[in-house]
Amino acid sequence: FEVGAAEFTARNLGNLNADRIEVDAGVGSISLGLEGRWQRDAELDIGMGLGSLELRIPEGLGIRLRKKSFLTSLDSQGLVKRGDVYESLDWDRADRRVSIELDAAFGSVSVVWIN
């Protein structure tokens, strides 16, 4: 997905049956829902210039987040920092896992757990 200056929402990304998803956003508000039926482990690459990012993650999906940023805050509720990555508590035992690479300049990132 490529997003210029806009508000963008994508839901049920697990239903794409993709092993790699890329989101390139310039300026704006992005909300990505990782719910859906994941068939395999996947990678999610997010590039963001200026704005806010909401990651909606279903309970039971293992998440590993690596953040490369200049001035970006992270609300990492439900994630544990291990070295230079943040992992969900169930990363090691999750049936499906998504590795997230976040490259952001300015903004905020929040993780919202959904059932």
d(CA 106, CA 52): 9
Q: 35 or 6: which carries more pLDDT confidence?
A: 35
- For 72, the token pair is 């970006």
Q: Which domain holds residue 73?
A: 2-114
Instruction: Give the tens place of pLDDT for each residue, 14-59.
Output: 999 999 999 999 899 999 999 999 999 999 999 999 999 999 999 9
CA distances in angstroms from 66 to 5, 36, 43, 63, listed in the order given: 24, 22, 11, 10
pLDDT at 74: 92
CA distance linking residue 43 with residue 1, whole number of Å: 14
Query: Could you read off the pLDDT of 58-86 as tens digits, one per residue?
Result: 999 999 999 998 788 999 889 999 998 99
How many domains is the chain partitioned into structurally? 1
94-109 tens-digit pLDDT: 999 999 999 999 999 9
What pLDDT is stored for residue 31 in this prediction?
Answer: 97
Q: Which residue has the higher pLDDT, 33 or 1?
A: 33
Q: pTM for the whole thing?
A: 0.93
Smallest Cα–Cα separation from 112: which of 26, 11, 37? 11
Positive or negative, the CA dihedral 95, 75, 35, 23 is: negative
